[in-house]
Amino acid sequence: MLVTKKTGSKTRMLALAGALAGAIALGACSDEPPPVEKVEGVVPGLTISNARMMLAPVEGNPAAVYFDATYEGERGISISGAEVAGAANATVHDMMEYNFEMTMAEAGPIAITNGSELNFEPGALHIMAFEPSADLQPGGKAEVTLKISGGARHKFQADILAAGDER
């Protein structure tokens, strides 16, 4: 009986050690990347830099928001709109040809994929902030939100510049 008990105990220990080694080996060989921690108001892989809001020379006229964006995310996304805190509304605009003339108009969804670089700049893509509040003053910051198709949002801060400042 003592021999049987020892043999059974040894067998159980070997089985347990084997199972533990197998679990460790499977975990080490996993091809899945670690889970990405979700941060409220941030789209993973989307980076905004050089963000600035240019106020209009006439108070109350629309302001323009410019910035540079890079995307290193796994899945393609599209920018479908924008919001600017302190403005009645905001839209993404682009320059386009209409009736053989260049004109500014609201842009459709802007698709971006891994490795994309976008420049929101004068004469190209930009955000128009309509009826900006008097609280938006040069030297301050404006909170800008990009709306992403599917419901995600990406918030960032833009420096507020006076109309005559360098864009």
93-105 pLDDT per residue, tens = 998 888 898 888 9
Q: What does pTM read for this prediction? A: 0.75
pLDDT top residue among 107 and 6:
107
Count of beta carbons in the 10 Å neighbourhood of residue 137: 12
Q: Is 46-161 assigned to CATH 2.60.40.1890? A: yes
Q: Residue 141: is its pLDDT beyond 70?
A: yes
Average pLDDT for residues 82-92, to the nearest whole number? 97
pLDDT of residue 60: 86
One-letter amino acid for residue 85 of the chain? A
Give the whole-angstrom CA distance, residue 52 versus residue 55: 10
Percentages of the chain per state (helix, strand, coil), in multiples of 5: 15, 45, 40
Residue-level pLDDT at 41: 86
Query: Where along the chain do its domains lie?
Result: 1-33, 46-161
Average pLDDT rounded to a whole number, residues 117-132: 96
Is residue 85 a contact partner of residue 132, using CB atoms and an 8 Å limit?
no
Q: What is the mean pLDDT of the chain?
A: 84
Predicted confidence (pLDDT) at residue 13 exceeds the cutoff of 80: no
Q: CA separation (Å) from 110 to 19, 43, 79, 115, 151?
A: 50, 15, 5, 14, 15
